[in-house]
Structures are given as C-alpha cells and as structure tokens.
Amino acid sequence: MIQNQPIGVFDSGVGGLTVAHAIRNLLPQESLIYFGDTAHLPYGDKSPESIRHYSEKIAGFLLDKGAKVILIACNTASALAYEHVQEFVGNRAKVFNVIDPVVESLAGLPNLHKLGIIGTKGTILSNSYPQKISMQYDDIEVISLATPLFAPMIEEGFIFDDISNAVIRSYLSYPAFESMDTLILGCTHYPIIKNQIRKFFNFKVRVIDSGQIVAHQIKDHLLESGLASTAGKAEHQFFVSDYTEMFEKISEMFFEEKITLQLNNIWK
C-alpha cells in the first residue's frame, strides 16, 4: 500500500536530520528513510553539476527504497538541483525542497523589514532566496552572507563550545546585519546551533529554520493526496555513503534516540 511507504529525505550530512526530526514529531505514523551523503560533504563548495549528479543518484536510491515523497533537505541542493530532481523523478513521487516553503511563510510574519540570510557558499551564490523573495515581496530588505565554516564545524562536533562561539561571532558581527529583525538559517545544519545564534543577537532577532515549516507542508500534501500512512508503527532507516563516528554521535544527540546507521556507498 503506497500510503505506508516511507518519506525519503536526503542531505549532504547530519543537517537534514533537523528536518527529519520535525517530520517525525509532526507525523509520528510516517516512516522515514534518510540518506546522508557523507562521502561528498559539504555540498556548499561543490559545482552545480556535481550537486545535480549527487541529487539525482540519491533520489534514485530513495525511489528504489519505495519513497512516496522525496525531500531535498539541503539548501544547496534545493537551490541548484530541485528542478533537475523533479524532472528525474517525474510522477513517481512528489519532490519538496527546503527553500520555497520558508519564502512562502514570510507572508505571515509581522514587522518584517530587514531580513538576513546565512548559508553555504553554494546557496548564497545561487541567489535563490533573494530572487524568490523579491518576486513575492517588494518591501523587504535582504542581506545575504555565506558562512561556509558552520556546516563542517557542526559535522566535526564543534558545537556549544568556545570554538563554535568564536566562529559564530566572527560571521554574525557582519556590519550589514545591524538593525536586522529576522534571520533565515539557509542551511539545515544551522538549527543545531540555533540557540547559540539567538543568544549572539541577545534573542532580539527572529530566527527562522525550515524544519517545522517543511514538515507542515508535507503533512498537508499527504492529507490532500490521500497518501497519509495508515500503518500502526513507523519504521525509520538511516543510510550514509561514508561512515563517521561523529555523524552517529551527533545524529543520536539531535534525533533524541538510538540511531543505527547503514553504510551504503551508492557511488561505487
């Protein structure tokens, strides 16, 4: 029964688990199949051609595993490979990205005037967020900043310590962010350090991550299309293309339960 097939989620590493975690909490009856492409992380400094190649291959893997929905839980891949994956997948599954839902959600926010966006080099250079925002809103000042050390810092376990605080302070002291009222975390790794980022701004800046927003969009789709699971118990699977002990440690810390990683190097 297609309703009981899993939701497929992929990212370059541990970051997409922030979105998978939100989906699990909102849709506890839905099974998840997660693929972290740790063999190629971070995606932020890869070419657009490479990102599209990786994304297509992983989408094929998730389809082979029976995914009824595929979520590109990576801002860089969402910016550079979303249309490509849509074309590849066709009518075999609905494809979601983590950028469009966040942009759409801005419509309901009060007192939004100066908006900051932080992300990988790939996401920021794609100009995807500013372009999409300018098409829908004409009264928001947008300031973008590449923060390429954040994702590898998190993947290596440097969080909640002096090193991460120093890196956060170095980036977010960006003068153009002065008087900013809202900040988009344009990388799914970044919610892991969301509280540190909020603290840097003395909790006076509204910080937006995609997890809950995307989870609700997927829920709406499943209900509207009659694809919501009827299974009594969800079963989750977690795959990585290259095993690292730190990935497993951070995954369990963030997902709040024991995670068994399965190594599947689809590139061989």
Catalytic residues: 74, 187
On whether the CB atoms of residues 242 and 13 are closer than 8 A, the answer is no
Q: How far apart are CA 128 and CA 134, in angstroms?
A: 10
On whether the CB atoms of residues 102 and 150 are closer than 8 A, the answer is no
User: Going by C-beta distance under 8 Å and a sequence separation of 6 or more, which residues neighbour residue 156?
Assistant: 246
Looking at the DSSP bridge assignments, the partners of residue 183 are: 116, 207
**DSSP string of the chain, one letter each residue:** -GGGSPEEEEESSSTTHHHHHHHHHH-TTS-EEEEE-TTS--GGGS-HHHHHHHHHHHHHHHHHTT-SEEEE--HHHHHHHHHHHHHHHGGGSEEEESSHHHHHHGGG-SS--EEEEEE-HHHHHHTHHHHHHHHH-SS-EEEEEE-TTHHHHHHTT--SSHHHHHHHHHHHT-GGGTT--EEEEESTTGGGGHHHHHHHTTT-SEEE-SHHHHHHHHHHHHHHHT-----SS---EEEESS--HHHHHHHHHHHTS---EEE--TT-
